Amino acid sequence: MKIITLETIERGAIFIYPTDTIYGIGCNALNSKAVIRLRKIKEQYDRPVSIIAPSKKWIMENCEVNEGALSKLPGPYTLIVKLKTKVIAKEVNLGSGTVGVRMPNHWITRQVAKFGFPIVTTSVNKTGNQFMTSFDNLDAEIAKKVDFIVYDGKKEGHPSTIINLINHEILKR
């Protein structure tokens, strides 16, 4: 039996986990090697990925965002914001200076708060393929390449709604 610890995640474990919408695949957003490995698993190299922030305070300290925008969180939203600091691995946002920030209305957000650092959040699929809502549609190749899976039953959702606070756009997925 493999024991999963905070240290395992800090060092770069890639894992699948539930959110309030669908299943996500993630890793420590501060660990460049882990983010590169995650991108290889997803075969996604040219688009930024988002993060689950450990707290609203973390978002306010590290991103250009007003408190009013944070009223959407926690919830099924991803807020695209400018970063104030270089607090995440550049492989997360491909050096763009912006990041998608989530705080799902789900216990995973409380877990990330306990970690004290952000984790990458992106759908469990190879780019362009169906996202994971249950074990029935988990890509077998991806499953073989992750370090662990936290399963929480079937999800009935869709990817989060993206709100670009920089361009003032709402993008449905």
Domain assignment present for 1? no
Is 122 a member of any domain? Answer: yes
142: in domain: yes
Give the CATH number for residue 56.
Answer: 3.90.870.10
Per-residue pLDDT, 121: 97
CA distance between the termini of the chain: 37
For residues 81-86, average pLDDT: 93
Q: How confident is the model at residue 6 (pLDDT cuts 50, 70, 90)?
A: confident
- Domain contains 161: yes
pLDDT of residue 167: 79
Average pLDDT, the chain: 92
> What pLDDT shows up at residue 169?
64
Total number of domains in the chain = 1
The tens digit of pLDDT for each residue in 15-46 reads 999 999 999 999 999 999 999 999 999 999 99
**Which residues constitute the domain of residue 80?**
6-171
99 burial via Cβ count (<10 Å: 0-12, 13-18, 19+): buried
Q: Rounded CA gap, 16 and 34, in Å?
A: 14
85 assigned to some structural domain = yes
| pLDDT for residue 3 | 63
Pairing of strands 15-18, 148-149: parallel
pLDDT of residue 85: 87
Confidence of residue 171 (pLDDT cuts 50, 70, 90): low
134-155 per-position pLDDT tens digit: 999 999 999 999 999 999 999 9
